[in-house]
Structure 1
Amino acid sequence: MKTYYKIILSLFCVALIAQSCSRKKDTFINRNFHALGTKYNILYNGDIALQRGIEGVNDAFTENFWELLPVERMEVSEDIFLPGQSKNADFERAEEKAIKAIQKHGMNIDGKEKNYQIDEAYLLLGKARYFDQRFVPALAAFNNILNKYPTSDKINQVKIWREKTNMRLDNNEVAIKRLKRLLDEEEIEGQDLADASAALAQAYINIKSKDSALAELGVAAENTKVKNQKARYHFIRGQLYNEFKEKDSANAEFDAIIEMHRQIPRAFYINAHLEKSYNFDASNGDEIEFQEYLTELEENRENRPFLDKIYYRIAEYHRKNASDSLAEAYYNKSLRKTSSDKYLRALNYETLGNMYFDRNIYKTAGAYYDSTMTAMVQNSKEFRIIKKKRENLDDVIYYEGIAVTNDSILRIISLPKEEQLALYTAHTEKLKQQALEEEERKEQELKRQATANNNIETQNVRSGINPKGMPGEFASKSKSVGPGGIASSFYFYNPTTVAYGKNEFLKLWGDRKLQDNWRLSNQRASIANETKGDVATTTTEQARFNPETYIASLPTSQVEIDSIAKERNFAYYQLGIIYKEKFKELELSKSRFEDLLNNNPEERLVLPSKYNLYKIYIELGLNRKAEAMKADIVANYPDSRYAEILLNPESELAKDENSPEVIYTNLYRQFEEENYAQVIAEAETQIKRLEGDDYAPKFEILKASAKGRLYGFEAYKESIDHIALTYPNTEEGKKAQEILQNAIPVLAKKEFVADDQAKNFNVIYQFNNNSGEDIDAFIKVLNEEASKIKYFDLTVSKDLYDENTTFVVVHGLKSIQGAGGFAQLLQSENIDKNGKPLKPKITKDYFAISSPNYAIIQRHKNLNSYLKLE
């Protein structure tokens, strides 16, 4: 009987469950069955996956406290994914759960959703897509809730998430309008109010309305119960107050973070301390108390993971107080701490580089700048600035080296012989002292080795090993560990016996080379050679310690001395330009130009140096010196362009006919018209006129190109080499260096190419420029004849070969035979309408040539060599 009732009850339960599974019947059982299944099964697992994914996003995100923090801890990736692809498996699982809940448990009856958990499913779907950075599908999910479930208890959260998504899609104005309406029209409180205010603050930050963001962040910080969020909002407010120069308000925000202490991530706590320390007012604050404050941060064991930043802050404090040695020590301590903060490493390296640059230690500064670039994002704006500075520093290092070396030589040359002797005597005495110290060090090392060997022998005796014994005796007395950890009696596995054997060999045979018949007596010849070498070395050492050696190496001829002085003066000029134009180091530039003018420089450097000094004096506010320099230039160089600029400053800005820009443009036009001789002559005039001006190397390049076209490869190479040596610091000089390294070796090839290797050919008609022939009329006739050839696309050009020769060239022929055939066709007789022969229109001699070979004869001016080959 009991079994009967059990069966009935089981069938009833099955029928009830089957009835409740239906999504088409709006009954109490059906609604609650699907709602409970959705909430406690599908959405529960989906929420777990979502939270796991959010934790992964948070862990992957690195806070950059050097910039304004984002309100939401999430980094948007630039990676592109195809539709349906997901960046995170957890978010993909959460999305699948949400979709399953909607598809399997949705009860849309008569246009209304009866499962009150479906809006939660859509919210989960939108959040999963949002954190997976698929913002358009996320927006669709949130809009679906707003359209279908306007009475949902989650409607305010949905509106906030929708506007957060809009902000990610750069619809900030729309987000601000809707969030303000939400806050004004709805009575929201608690975490919803905090989230809405925080989202509105981020939108204001995005549109640069940071003052409006401050108030919203205050509301968010006051209403959120999540400590991490509260710390973030206070920190961003502190950063914004610092931007507005309101240090007291900023410190109040940082104090609010510090008071939370261990309730928040340590990074916020430490950076709040550091940001507050940057606001310290040294003029009104207690310096001793502030130093103790920094020391306490440094010595706190809990702060060890952040010592890199703490050391950097202490270094900045010492540098600001002009304690450069302490600052450098702390910058290096910051670098020695293992840190993933590349920006901090770059700051440390760059600051150290700047410190060494200011002390004129340029090689060390350059090394620090190199390290700076390794810690920066390549091709970023900051990277390009440092790279440019480093490249400019190469020129500084080069010219400073020349200046220092040549100054030293000239100073010593100017001394009387007695002072030179005293100077080099002191130098050689120092070298002798260093040599003695090195000898003592070597002796101490030999004694240490001898003591170690004696200890080995003593140990051998105590171990029962006979120093004079044979290998068998060693093997019988000692057990060693061989390969693989296996005990072995082979004496080469015993380090003690090996060391003893090496020592005995050296005592008996000396240091012999590894070679056949090493024991033969003729090997003593090498010992004799070594003795000779030792004698030569001794002679060299004696010369090194003799002051007269150095005095004899000094230049004595006036030509050599003048060359050294000229090189030194040019280095000073280049340094003055570099410091002024590229580093804006006006004081350094001023000192270099003033030193140059005091060293009797060559005339070409005097005027531009004085003009640059005038400009520097103006910028430094040295008005009396500037007026004196202006008067000097106007009085002594009245016809110069600089005097014209000083007397009429507006002419420098006006693009009149005498400005370098206009002259260069006109000259380039002549270059295109192949008036190369006029270009060379006018360029030389302008180079002399604009000595020291930025346009001078531009005219040099134009002149070099014209000389190459007119005189050939060797003239071009010589001109480019001159530009590279004379203007190494300019863009034109660097371009010339590149041409010398890359293009010149290719252009130097003058071997003619076989005709079967070429694809294009030309017919050349040669004219003597002094013959009086009408070249233009010839070209007109040739164009008419060439246009009749329909199966080739022929063109005609006039090319200058040299000062005496001009070529008229027909281009577009495809073989050497075809080129010759075309020219012969033009020279053949034609027949008129009456059958009478007509005189050919083209009777001038010609030669055919491939395009590569034509380029060679134009480049090297070796036409005769080519014609001999024919």
Structure 2
Amino acid sequence: MAIIAQSCSRKKDTFINRNFHALGTRYNILYNGELALERGKLAVNDEFTENFWELLPVERMNISEDVFLPGESRNQDFERAEEKAIKAIQKHGMNIDGKEKNYQIDEAYLLLGKSRYYDQRFVPALAAFNNILNKYPTSDKINQVKIWREKSNMRLDNNKVAIKRLKRLLEEEEGVITGQDLADATAALAQAYINIEARDSALGQLAIAANTTKINREKARYHYIRGQLFNEFGQKDSANVEFDAIIEMHRNIPRSFYINAHLEKSNNFNTLDGNLLEFEEYLVDLEENRENRPFLDKIYYRIAEYHRGQASDSMAEAYYNKSLRKTTSDNYLRALNYETLGNMYFERNIYKTAGFYYDSTMTAMQPNTKPFRIIKKKRENLDDVIYYEAVAQANDSILNIVSLSKEEQLAIYSDYVDFLKEQAIKEQELKEKEEQRQKNTIAAKTAAANTRAGKTLNNPNSLPGGGFNQNGSGSSFYFYNPSTVAYGKNEFLNIWGDRKLQDNWRLSNQKANNVVALKESGAKDTFEDQKYDPETYIASLPKEQGQIDSISKERNFAYYQLGIIYKEKFKELELSKSRFETLLKNSPEERLVLPSKYNLFKIYSELGLTRNAEAMKSHIISSYPDSRYAEILLNPQSELAKDENSPEALYTNLYKKFNEQKYAEVIAEADKQIKRLEGDGYVPKFEILKASAKGRLYGFEAYKESVNYIALNYVNTEEGDKAQDILDNAIPTLEKKEFVPDDKAEYFNVIYQFNVDTKEDVEAFVTILEQEVAKIEYFDLSVSKDIYDQNTLFIVVHGLKSIQGARGFAQLLQSDKKDKRGRPLKPKITRDYFAISSPNYAIIQRHKNLNAYLKLE
């Protein structure tokens, strides 16, 4: 016992002491700590989901952005491992004369660093690894420690430092560092190269790692990343070699790598030169393999992509939907399926269905990401397409019917009414069948219950047939079993319908007599409804020319908007061309003709329809020689970008006038340009500038009305979106008229009023006021001229700190002043004024409610 007690000392450097503490560290504390670390690593692996849609990371670990306070841990197992490492260092460390005598302490520091690394506390982990390098340079784990240190540096975005040190390690220890250490070092170096986008340099390091490691999971990962990189570089043959290496490992690796290697290899198949029959069989084998059931969502998606590439849209759609029915947690795949189906319906001009698919796409995407915003914008644009397509189709249909003779209209609506009657008859027939089926079911259940009761009461030993004859003895005769009879009747009705007892009852003309009866009698009252009368529909058609012209105008505007949307928003030039050409055939109003023809010229040019483009160009120049479009076509290099009559120049000049507070001029000129540039992309900009000028000159209500007009009439423009955002978010705040108490304001103003048409010298007044303001050094004051309304101009002194200070400043300017000899001078500022806080000044400018404020004074 004395020897054992003496060996517990950490201050004596003896053989017994060193080995006692080393053994206790190794087989007790570190053993339990390493078990906890392994449990934690398993939890990390379980939490991580491989995203095979992107380049895989070299190390399987999710990086969380959650912030933990000191002492908190993401994983209790890592916390326990850290505690064990610290206990080993504190309880069994033998630091004697500046040297560590316990040869297991470097292992404890390595465990400490690893547990912190997996707990995503990379700075403390780096400190633990550096401690080993500084204190234990001869440790047998030194190469591992260097690798872990650089892995920590990479997590802290010190990739260049990590690359420099790992390269030096591999060069200095060449031939020494082998096995798993070499695989870890080269894999870490590859990840550092990937992090700095030097992906070609990563290929060689991953090859060494894949050939060196004995862990099949890691080997598959390294091969897969190499295959992904080769695909990025367009080297499909080299990529297939990597995927084949994974496929050959088969059941020695996770099934996800095996399946995705097959799918990536199939993506590299050349459909132009390859054997399509063999490839289809290859895809079918993947689909039918029972082991691949957990991955059918991806397999179906790949098959769908193949059929779509072969222009077999019906097969592709079927497989996309099968993939959706199988998809569970892979939101990216779900979004791909929905988006692709949406695109397919969009290409077929089935916009409403496409919109539904885009809605589903967004539910599977991460909000506020770039792909989400792209789909959201496309969906919003699609709202306009759906609306205008519906308007165009409905109005086209109405105008087509109106153009027909009364006899032709009657024929069309008679056919429609006949169709409605047939539908009503079918619905009635189905209803009667369902009622009969329910009656038969009830009868069968009742008969079965009676039969069971009869068996129990009358003859428990009856025959299997279940029926009874008149003598009460059991019998298997069919018609003695009510349950069987009821079932037979039900089956007969389902197969033959309700038929009369007569000869040749099997003939088809004897079927559905109830339907004939319905036509002749039962539906007579139903068909007296107005919707079964053709005259009802004819009477609803527009008769007056004004109504017809309004429908035609609405239809033409819809076609124009569709042409613009397809061209500008979706780049669907063929669809845009079709809509513009249809519009021009419908004799549109003059304001739409020239913009449509110019857009058609640009579309013809982009589609390579040179002859059509030249013909349209000549037509515009000859028929509209004074238009800006003709000027653009005659001088395509400048496109009037610097011309004083171009929309850009006009808008710029008008904006300058807005800043000069010439609001009445801005409103008048904006109205003029909006009419002149109808259909041009700058029109919404003039509208929103006019709305701002109206708000400044006439107040809040005028501004709100103008913004609402823009939101309703320019829904497919950036300005329209901005107007809607203002209505939703800014207007509710701006419409508040209540004045703010002066004690809650920070800055105050002094206001002098002038009539806009006054003959007084406003500029002279401003000059004198600025001179007086310049003498006040303890406040940062300024003077401005602000338009209040059409008749009133404000001269404003800004920057005073209190309402009393504002009034005192104005009174100071009004006081009589004397020169150095005491002689009185004439007062310089004698005009009436009022003081107001900056928030309240904004309110009176916004709502033009100056009188209401002055009453409070």
TM-score bucket of the superposed structures, by smaller chain: 0.7 to 0.9
Q: 1:570 aligns with which of 551, 557, 565?
A: 557
Distance in 2 of aligned mates of 1:174 and 1:464: 90
CA contact 2:401–2:409 (8 Å) conserved in 1: yes
Which residue does 1:134 correspond to in 2?
A: 121
Which residue does 1:264 correspond to in 2?
A: 253
Aligned-partner residue type, residue 332 of structure 2: Y
The 1:743/1:382 distance shift into structure 2, 3 A limit, reads closer
Aligned-partner residue type, residue 625 of structure 2: P
Deviations 1:273-319 (A, max 9, x none): 11111111112222222222212211211111111111111111111
Which residue does 1:414 correspond to in 2?
A: 403
Identity score, percent: 76
Distance in 1 of aligned mates of 2:160 and 2:805: 71
CA contact 2:631–2:640 (8 Å) conserved in 1: no
SS at match of 2:243: helix
Which residue does 1:337 correspond to in 2?
A: 326
Distance in 1 of aligned mates of 2:178 and 2:821: 110
SS at match of 2:139: coil
The 1:819/1:548 distance shift into structure 2, 3 A limit, reads farther
Q: TM-score, normalised by structure 2?
A: 0.82
Which residue does 2:531 correspond to in 1?
A: 544
Per mean C-alpha deviation after superposition, the further-off stretch among 728-737 and 215-224 is 728-737
Shift of 1:685: 3.4
Which residue does 1:478 correspond to in 2?
A: none
The 1:292/1:674 distance shift into structure 2, 3 A limit, reads same
Q: 2:368 aligns with which of 366, 379, 391?
A: 379
Shift of 1:126: 1.9
Distance in 2 of aligned mates of 1:15 and 1:422: 119
Distance in 1 of aligned mates of 2:10 and 2:852: 98
Deviations 1:497-523 (A, max 9, x none): xxxxxxxxxxxxxxxxxxxxxxxxxxx
CA contact 2:250–2:258 (8 Å) conserved in 1: yes
Aligned-partner residue type, residue 169 of structure 1: L
Which residue does 1:94 correspond to in 2?
A: 81
Shift of 1:333: 1.5
Distance in 1 of aligned mates of 2:813 and 2:120: 73
Distance in 2 of aligned mates of 1:429 and 1:247: 61
Which residue does 1:315 correspond to in 2?
A: 304
Shift of 1:128: 1.6
1:434 aligns with 2:423: yes
Q: 1:202 aligns with which of 174, 181, 191?
A: 191
CA contact 2:740–2:839 (8 Å) conserved in 1: no
Shift of 1:20: 2.3
The 1:794/1:134 distance shift into structure 2, 3 A limit, reads closer
The 1:335/1:821 distance shift into structure 2, 3 A limit, reads same
Aligned-partner residue type, residue 686 of structure 2: F
1:159 aligns with 2:146: yes
Q: 1:402 aligns with which of 391, 397, 401?
A: 391
Q: 2:35 aligns with which of 13, 27, 48?
A: 48
Distance in 2 of aligned mates of 1:777 and 1:16: 107
SS at match of 1:595: helix
CA contact 1:766–1:808 (8 Å) conserved in 2: yes
Distance in 1 of aligned mates of 2:165 and 2:734: 69
Which residue does 1:174 correspond to in 2?
A: 161
Distance in 2 of aligned mates of 1:50 and 1:715: 69
CA contact 2:695–2:702 (8 Å) conserved in 1: yes
Shift of 1:58: 0.8
Per mean C-alpha deviation after superposition, the further-off stretch among 646-655 and 631-640 is 646-655
Aligned-partner residue type, residue 675 of structure 1: K
Which residue does 2:112 correspond to in 1?
A: 125
The 1:848/1:52 distance shift into structure 2, 3 A limit, reads closer
Q: 2:571 aligns with which of 584, 588, 592?
A: 584
Matches within 5 A, 1:138-153: 138-153=125-140
Aligned-partner residue type, residue 388 of structure 1: K
Which residue does 1:11 correspond to in 2?
A: none
Aligned-partner residue type, residue 633 of structure 2: L
Deviations 1:223-244 (A, max 9, x none): 2111111111111111112112
Aligned-partner residue type, residue 595 of structure 2: P
The 1:715/1:102 distance shift into structure 2, 3 A limit, reads closer
Which residue does 2:478 correspond to in 1?
A: none
Distance in 1 of aligned mates of 2:419 and 2:231: 56
SS at match of 1:339: coil
Matches within 5 A, 1:105-116: 105-116=92-103
Which residue does 1:499 correspond to in 2?
A: none
SS at match of 2:661: coil
Aligned-partner residue type, residue 163 of structure 1: E
Shift of 1:545: 0.9
1:356 aligns with 2:332: no
Shift of 1:43: 1.6
Q: 2:715 aligns with which of 702, 718, 728?
A: 728
The 1:143/1:560 distance shift into structure 2, 3 A limit, reads same
Shift of 1:781: 5.4
SS at match of 1:307: helix
CA contact 2:317–2:341 (8 Å) conserved in 1: yes
The 1:673/1:29 distance shift into structure 2, 3 A limit, reads same
Shift of 1:387: 1.4
CA contact 1:641–1:689 (8 Å) conserved in 2: no
Aligned-partner residue type, residue 300 of structure 1: N
SS at match of 1:650: coil
The 1:254/1:770 distance shift into structure 2, 3 A limit, reads closer
Aligned-partner residue type, residue 371 of structure 2: E
The 1:26/1:709 distance shift into structure 2, 3 A limit, reads closer
Per mean C-alpha deviation after superposition, the further-off stretch among 772-781 and 276-285 is 772-781
Aligned-partner residue type, residue 392 of structure 2: A
Q: TM-score, normalised by structure 1?
A: 0.81
Shift of 1:852: 8.3
Matches within 5 A, 1:558-707: 558-652=545-639, 655=642, 657-707=644-694
CA contact 1:761–1:848 (8 Å) conserved in 2: yes
Deviations 1:463-486 (A, max 9, x none): 999xxxxxxxxxxxxxxxxxxxxx
Which residue does 1:227 correspond to in 2?
A: 216
Matches within 5 A, 1:738-749: 738-739=725-726
Distance in 2 of aligned mates of 1:372 and 1:249: 34
CA contact 1:641–1:690 (8 Å) conserved in 2: no
Which residue does 1:485 correspond to in 2?
A: none
Distance in 2 of aligned mates of 1:756 and 1:382: 48
Distance in 2 of aligned mates of 1:864 and 1:167: 67
Distance in 2 of aligned mates of 1:330 and 1:538: 48
Aligned-partner residue type, residue 605 of structure 1: L
The 1:563/1:125 distance shift into structure 2, 3 A limit, reads same
Distance in 2 of aligned mates of 1:731 and 1:624: 34
Shift of 1:96: 1.9
CA contact 1:762–1:810 (8 Å) conserved in 2: yes
Shift of 1:672: 2.3
Which residue does 2:44 correspond to in 1?
A: 57
CA contact 2:641–2:648 (8 Å) conserved in 1: no
